[in-house]
Amino acid sequence: MPTLVVVRHAKASNPPGVADLSRPLSPRGARDAAAAGRWIREHVAPPGLLLTSPARRTEETTAALLGQWDELPPVVEEERIYEASLGDLIYLVRGLDEQAPVVLVGHNPGLSALVEDLTGEVLELQTSGIAVVEASGSWTDVAPCECALVAVHTARDDGPDDELA
């Protein structure tokens, strides 16, 4: 079955004077992103493609995910993922032609809306949140509520919490 692994970027810092697109991961976010990579490695078949937003926090989340995997898929930076509407994300998903799982790293509220549209399940992805969605047919023809939400996980590293929230 075609599988989409939806990953919300890990917790980002918000330094003064830094544009949203350039916000880096916080130390806790970097650890949680690595934990997300380990979870995906242990629970999902090796991805055939990874799509990521061009935001620094998603690029850093992507690097941490890849650092935990034995097989590295092609990575495509997709500008449409940053500040994407549900329509943008559905359009992107319908263009997928992968039999191996596809990982999509991006932002809320779009990612949570995408999972809800595909599965009919209301879900608010937290930072480092993962939703594994399976389609019964091709992504090209996917319609609302036709997919199954087969796993949900929020990756948290158990290391020291050196920041609030």
Average pLDDT of every residue of the chain: 94
Q: What are phi and psi of 73, to 5 degrees?
A: -80, 165
Distance from C-alpha of 133 to C-alpha of 95, rounded to nearest angstrom: 16
Whether the full predicted model's pTM is greater than 0.85, yes or no, is yes
CB distance 114 to 86 below 8 Å: yes
Separation between Cα atoms, residue 41 and residue 35, nearest integer Å = 10
Judge whether residue 14 has pLDDT over 90: yes
Alpha-carbon distance of 5 to 7, in angstroms, equals 6
Pick the CATH number of 3-12+21-154 from 3.40.50.970, 3.40.50.450, 3.40.50.1240, 3.30.1490.20: 3.40.50.1240
Residue 165, pLDDT above cutoff 70: no
Tokens found for residue 53: 């937003």
